Structure 1
Amino acid sequence: MPFTPPALTQDQLADLRIALLLFVIALGLRLVDHRRYRDTARVLRALRLTAIQAPHTPYFEKRDDRIFAVLPYVWLWLDVIAAQFVARAVDHWAGYLVLALVVAGRFRGLQEVGHIAVHGGLCASKPFQWAVADLAFTWPLGKARMAVRHVNHCRRHHPNPNRPDEDPNLIRFAAVGFVPGLSRTGFAVKLLHPLLPAGWVETMTTLAHDLTSDRGWRLAARLAVMAGVAGAMAAAFGWQGLVFGHLVPLLLIYPLFSWISVIAEHRWYARADSGRRMTDECTNGRPTDYSGISGWIVRQFVSPYTDSWHLAHSLYPFARWNHLPAIDAALKARNPDYARHLSHGLLIPGRGRPSALSELRERMCGNATGDLADWAAPPLSPPPLAGSDPA
């Protein structure tokens, strides 16, 4: 007998209609944003990419467009709410699993939009975009506020990528045992670190640290916003919406996506001692092509926005994500150093090139590439884990 899908109730149909409307609005906002920032030729001229510039060349003068600094947060939260309506309409364990994955991916999107804001890349007013990021990202998700993130990311990480005792990401890696000398099995296990008991403890410890870094009215406001978001999810979508549409993504899946993205960003533990800033940036980083369906998944869930072109971002940190594909293409065509460590894909090598993680695995699990930094030779002694996630 042919399969006959179950008839939908009026409530389910209403949920799906609301979800569709929210998705359409979110898509419309994305299209408006894309149209606004499609002027890549002007960007390349402003950056003078007819010739290679020194790292951190000031971005072209930005218009004070505060509306467009807010829109990404709006469409990402619309995605979250729309996914909640779809999951409630489906009302099946598979739907709630998809909900958790989608929401975790949107949380990664919020993190990366905040990442652009911490560099001042959304509009001319840094205080404005930091305030929006705090209200729409750091407070609802319990992350370190933007002023703290600026210190960790812009002052500690960006000037010191892949430098022991200075790069907060390397300090974190050492603290959790993600260091050269791992077996291939150990490397694979460490990729799942946030899902393991030690990783979950790290997530909760970081959450507590970030919350208690504020005092007085800021702490009260943060707690009120966090409780308000969680309460709204529970009131609107029941315990399933709270658990699978907020808590599981926030405390398990989003930390996993964020962890993998940090691991894939740089050529960790590589030897980079030329003394020339541009050369060392290109040695410590890798442009990675994410193509096809798997590439789309990576760009949506693990490495959204600037993270998909991280080396171009490292060189031009004020650039909006809209312009990074053109900057990446221009650098590949003009700078042999930039394209020297080109990789393809996140996990599985392709097109005759290593993937971002396979290249790192070879260095950490046997040094087959021969470029392990002298200071990274095992064993490395782990320092105490301190501070918030700087990614």
Structure 2
Amino acid sequence: MTPVRDHPAFRRFYGNAMLLALSVITIGIALRQIDRFHFARRRPHTADASELIALQRTRANTLTPLLLLTGQWVQIAGWWMLSADGPLFATIAAAAVAVHFRHLQEISHFAVHGVLARTSRANHILAEVFAHHPLALGPVPVRRRRHVRDHHPNATLASDPNLAELRQAGLRPGTTGLKYAATLIHPLTPRGIRTTVTGLVGGMHGPGTWHRTAALGIVAGTAYLAGGWSALTYGVLIPRLLLYPQLAWMSLLVEHTWFDPDHRTGTAAWTEAGRCLRLYPRNRALALLAAATWLPYGDLHHYAHSAHPSVRWNYLPTLEAHLAPPHFTPDGLLIGTTTVARRHHHALNQPTKQITRPAAV
């Protein structure tokens, strides 16, 4: 089967394949902005959660989220087409598609919380069709139970499934040196790749196995038609098996002070301020870069989200301006005077207190 961009009829009608690919990417970007502009209208600079929830309810709909998710896949298709224009474009496409996969994960995360679209059914269908099925993320109800019921109330506690995931990857007391460095790039290690593949296989099982498997086939077939083997390799396999898991892993690392939280009781904001962090609070350029790539759709504002999970990502910066800052505001994940990696390392390697027994009399 000849990829569409290499078909003689395609070249006769469109001529410049690169120009068409860039046009497709531009269309995808434009589709995504419709949802953004719809929810941004007359957004206050600072407000409490109740005011913001009331505002987002008046604007809740199903059309703009549908266009947002469609725009993500239109852009992905454009990158698939562009990946066939040589090694440089293939490499760029691999990074770009990984970022889009990460975006789809975060958008579906808000669907799991029920604030992407107007109804529960619409949230479920959009998350399954545009993210969980094509990325083999498993059934939405399983993710909802694991994330909303098991993680949110128990973040950083022993029963938190996310903390268990970090432990399984090697982030345990006493981990140091090269072993600790390897945990920071866990999805790129042989052990991490095995974990990713196991998760992919598991994501295709359960209710609707046949159409979950078919969804992967549709993604692979469409990628090949758009850009041939280059698109299949650099636009599907490398992003899904290596790059996107690494971006998601980095996001997980910066969600909480996992190993030394300040356990508090009181209001939701006060409690979450003791176990959350806010990355890049003083560097707007790095904050914007992170929000556009590996911490998209409100993930940079995870503290505000943890305090009030029912607030849509569009309003998290407004909510954050209303809240007192969390107890840890690092300069970066790896680089900076105060980093997340350094804090995790220190927390995992604090000397244990020795209990001295009184001498027998």
For normalisation by structure 2, the TM-score amounts to 0.86
Out of 239, 246, 249, the position equivalent to 1:259 is: 249
Q: Secondary structure at the match of 2:258?
A: coil
1:39-118 superposed matches below 5 A = 39-41=42-44, 44=47, 47-48=50-51, 61-89=57-85, 91=86, 93-118=87-112
Q: Does the aligned pair in 1 maintain the 2:151–2:162 contact within 8 Å? A: yes
Q: Does the aligned pair in 2 maintain the 1:116–1:306 contact within 8 Å? A: no
> How much does 1:225 deviate?
1.1
Q: Does the aligned pair in 2 maintain the 1:121–1:319 contact within 8 Å? A: yes
Q: Which deviates further from its counterpart, 302-311 or 26-35?
A: 26-35
> How much does 1:24 deviate?
2.3
1:370-389 superposed matches below 5 A = none
Which position in structure 2 is the counterpart of 1:32? 34
Q: Does the aligned pair in 2 maintain the 1:62–1:124 contact within 8 Å? A: no
> How much does 1:177 deviate?
1.6
Q: Secondary structure at the match of 1:207?
A: helix
Q: Which amino acid aligns with 1:345?
A: G
Which position in structure 2 is the counterpart of 1:199? 192
Q: Does the aligned pair in 1 maintain the 2:32–2:72 contact within 8 Å? A: no
Aligned residue pairs: how many? 339
Q: Does the aligned pair in 2 maintain the 1:80–1:103 contact within 8 Å? A: yes
Q: Secondary structure at the match of 1:61?
A: helix
CA change 1:75–1:175 in 2 (3 A) is: same
Residue 251 of structure 2 corresponds to residue 249 of structure 1: no
Q: Which deviates further from its counterpart, 136-145 or 32-41?
A: 32-41
Q: Which amino acid aligns with 1:329?
A: A
CA change 1:324–1:275 in 2 (3 A) is: closer
Q: Secondary structure at the match of 1:302?
A: coil
Q: Which deviates further from its counterpart, 25-34 or 38-47?
A: 38-47
Distance 1:43 1:271 in 2: 27
Q: Which amino acid aligns with 2:271?
A: D
Q: Which amino acid aligns with 2:273?
A: C
Which position in structure 1 is the counterpart of 2:295? 303
Q: Secondary structure at the match of 1:180?
A: coil
Deviations 1:119-157 (A, max 9, x none): 011122011121111011110111112111100100100
Q: Secondary structure at the match of 1:212?
A: coil
Distance 2:254 2:307 in 1: 17
Q: Does the aligned pair in 1 maintain the 2:83–2:90 contact within 8 Å? A: yes
Residue 308 of structure 2 corresponds to residue 327 of structure 1: no
Which position in structure 1 is the counterpart of 2:136? 142
> How much does 1:277 deviate?
4.9
Q: Does the aligned pair in 1 maintain the 2:35–2:65 contact within 8 Å? A: no
Residue 263 of structure 2 corresponds to residue 273 of structure 1: yes
1:328-347 superposed matches below 5 A = 328-331=320-323, 335=324, 338-347=325-334
Q: Which amino acid aligns with 2:200?
A: L
Out of 139, 151, 167, the position equivalent to 1:174 is: 167
Q: Which amino acid aligns with 1:314?
A: S
Deviations 1:252-310 (A, max 9, x none): 11111111111111110114333335333111101222645544432233211121110
Distance 1:41 1:208 in 2: 44
Distance 1:129 1:151 in 2: 15
> How much does 1:366 deviate?
4.0
CA change 1:58–1:184 in 2 (3 A) is: farther
Q: Secondary structure at the match of 1:298?
A: helix
Deviations 1:11-44 (A, max 9, x none): 8962222122223222322333232111322982
Which position in structure 2 is the counterpart of 1:381? none
Which position in structure 2 is the counterpart of 1:230? 220
Distance 2:221 2:71 in 1: 21
Structure 1 residue ranges without an equivalent (≥5): 1-9, 50-56, 375-391
CA change 1:321–1:140 in 2 (3 A) is: same
Distance 1:150 1:97 in 2: 34
Sequence identity of aligned pairs in percent? 28
Structure 2 residue ranges without an equivalent (≥5): 1-10, 354-361
Distance 2:183 2:48 in 1: 43
Distance 2:58 2:51 in 1: 16
Q: Does the aligned pair in 1 maintain the 2:39–2:56 contact within 8 Å? A: no
For normalisation by structure 1, the TM-score amounts to 0.80
